[in-house]
Amino acid sequence: MGSLDLAGTYRDLHAHPELSLQETRTAALAAGYLRAFGYAVTENVGGTGVVAVLRNGPGPTMLLRADMDALPVEEKTGLPYASTARATDDLGNDVPVMHACGHDVHVTCLLGAAEALAADTSTWRGTLQLVFQPAEETGDGARAMLDDGFHDRFGRPEVVLGQHVSPLPAGMIGLRAGPSFAAADSLRVVLHGRGGHGSRPEACVDPVVMAAATVLRLQTVVSREVPGGETAVLTIGALNAGTKDNVIPDDAVLLLNIRTYDDDVRAHVMGAVERIVNGEAAAAGAPRPPEIEPTLSFPMLVNDAAAVEVIGRGFTEEFGAGAVADPGPVTGSEDVGFFATAAGVPCVYWLLGGADPKAFAGATDLASAKKIALSLPSNHSPLFAPVIEPTLQVGVAALVRAARTWSARTD
């Protein structure tokens, strides 16, 4: 392989997305480039993960991470490199696949940084651990790599660094100290009724009505039980029940997602969900208690304040003070923090602007830019399409500068 074509690599990855723990093509592409750049490469870590190590004398060990997986979303961008891929998900369903969260940007930028850092070892010292992680979307990937003996096999890092593309203006870096990405919990709730003919509801226990009442009551958890100074998001993403208009089904299924920044708030919201689900089932005369099954859990991502100050100085020198801002807490979630927590080291994870700067022509500050961003396709949208430049160049430069800045620390 020759020198990395950033735009071409990005388009290729975007056109060939892969679901969580199915990222074999992406992993092979990354491993091939990394070997060509001179890294010691290990594949199949935690499933499809790739770890690349480059030693450059005494100094800190720095972990730089990119996630690789895509989502079961049908792309509607109309781009010439849009995905038409389909795959079989873990439930056996045939689904469309799209890089609707920008992980193709993350992989491309980390490959670009890998090439730049390997080509100029005079500007940094220590050891690079580059992690191309599977299954971020399911919350399984970081834990799978750690469970596969990551620290024993590759050593413990001194810092964990990474970035996530977002609908902020391309060229902008969003960096925040403290709680930065929310904890996330997903639940599958099964409400049990007693099915029968639609003409005789009195002989049944209707789980559809039970589910509807539960959905409405759950809306009061955030509005009436979470203090105004705290933040929580509770979303019912799916309600599935029945197959025919004149048949009352036996069961209804709700899929819930909860986001919080505080352990006490999280515990209260989770308890409130359990209380309401059981209460509505009892009120409806359900023949048996509902089932509440956790399906996914992400920890809160907390950026270390001292480490953010160090990296922030480097970013300001690299991009200018106007290009680096605190975006506020993000209600999305990330599992990159597992690497830092497991090693007991600081994490610095930032937002990389990926939206067309022209859309922000009327913005005068970050607050107004964030309002404009609300009208743009965001992560997980079938229309999400970061502009290729300056997104990729800035993303590469941010990773390179973060590594060089941390390497040059004297404290």
pLDDT the model gives residue 363: 79
**CATH topology agreement for domains 6-181+300-407 and 183-298:** no
pLDDT digits (tens, 9 = 90+) for 324-362: 999 999 989 999 999 999 999 999 999 999 999 999 987
Q: What pLDDT does residue 1 have?
A: 53
pLDDT recorded at residue 411: 64
Per the CB < 8 A criterion, the answer to whether 98 and 17 are in contact is: yes
Element (H or E) spanning 224, and its range? helix 207-225
> How many other C-beta atoms lie within 10 A of the C-beta of residue 70?
30
The pLDDT of residue 365 is 75
Instruction: For 89-131, give the DSSP string.
Output: -TTS-EEE-B-TT-HHHHHHHHHHHHHHHHH-GGG--EEEEEE
Percent of the chain at pLDDT > 90 equals 92
- Give the confidence band of 2 by pLDDT, cuts at 50, 70, 90: low
Number of helices (H), then strands (E), in the chain: 11, 18
Task: Please tell me whether residue 31 adopts helix, strand or coil conformation.
Answer: helix
**Residues in binding site:** 101, 103, 137, 164
C-alpha distances in angstroms, 158 versus 163, 176, 336? 17, 19, 14
Q: Encode pLDDT of 244-259 as tens digits.
A: 999 999 999 999 999 9
Is the CB of residue 349 less than 8 Å from the CB of residue 318? no
Given the DSSP bridges, would you call strands 173-174 and 324-325 parallel, antiparallel or unpaired? parallel
Provide the CA 212 distance to its chain's centre, in angstroms.
30
Residue 208, number of CB atoms within 10 A of its CB: 16
- Residues marked as binding for Mn(2+)? 101, 103, 137, 164
Q: Are 20 and 137 in contact (CB under 8 A)?
A: yes
> Is pLDDT of 176 > 70?
yes
Mean pLDDT of all residues belonging to the chain: 96
**pLDDT above 70 for 226:** yes
Residues 3-30: tens digit of each pLDDT: 899 999 999 999 999 999 999 999 999 9
- For the chain, the domains span 6-181+300-407, 183-298
CB 148 within 8 A of CB 213: no
Pick 6-181+300-407's CATH classification: 3.40.630.10, 1.10.760.10, 3.40.50.10860, 3.30.70.1400.
Answer: 3.40.630.10
Condensed to tens digits (0 to 9), the pLDDT of residues 189-210 reads 999 999 999 999 999 999 999 9
In CATH, what class is 183-298? alpha beta
Following DSSP, what letter does each residue of 63-92 receive, concatenated? EEEEE---BS----S--TT----EEE-TTS
